[in-house]
Amino acid sequence: MKLAHIALAATFAFSQSAAAQSAADKSAAQAAHATPPSQQPTPDAFAGAPAAKPEDVKSIDSLMAALYDVISGPPGERDWNRFRSLFIPSAHLTSTSIAPDGSVRVRPNTVDDYAKLAGGFFLKNGFFESPIVNHIQIYGNVAQIFSSYESRHAVGEAPFARGINSIQMLNDGKRWWIVSILWDSERPDNPLPKEFATKP
């Protein structure tokens, strides 16, 4: 019986070794035929975005103007298809604020999240937002804009809020896209810097 156990153990060990070698050979063969990461197709970052109006995205200035224009108006529906066309589909819009306990609140939203949340407010409330100062920096195909803004419930009213939008843009060789917007609002302890507080 002991010899039988030894023989059985040897057979089992051999079969396990053979299976492992076969798996290793298969993995090596797959690796040899795999497409190197540098040659694999990259996801299309722009796929799924609605077609934009050419005049909205031909320059940084036109894209900035379209961004403020599309969210502004009297109570009612906004053109969310036009809004979405300004952004790459994976873009984020993130607000920051201070909670009553002094902690910083951060609320990241996708483009669709923002359309849903803001859309309900705009249906019942007039909202007009316009830039005060746009400070633009460009490097290659990317741009960073610090855009101070003021928000009103109606044209001609005093603004009920001011702040700064930090906007990142990308040029794909054909047009400009918004990649992200991060903003903070003016508060007594967080006034707009002098260079952003008054139109030039």
The confidence score (pLDDT) of residue 37 equals 54
Structural domains in the chain, sorted by start: 54-197 (3.10.450.50)
Reported residue count of the chain is 200
Complete edge-to-edge strand list for the sheet that includes strand 104-110: 104-110, 87-98, 176-185, 161-171, 142-152, 128-139
Question: For 161-188, how does the pLDDT look when each residue is reduced to its tens digit (9 = 90+)?
Answer: 999 999 999 999 999 999 999 999 999 9
> Is residue 11 scored above 80 in pLDDT?
no
Neighbours of 66 (CB within 10 A): 21
Question: At residue 68, what is the residue type?
Answer: Y
The confidence score (pLDDT) of residue 44 equals 85
Q: How far apart are CA 67 and CA 83, in angstroms?
A: 7
The confidence score (pLDDT) of residue 13 equals 43
Neighbours of 43 (CB within 10 A): 7
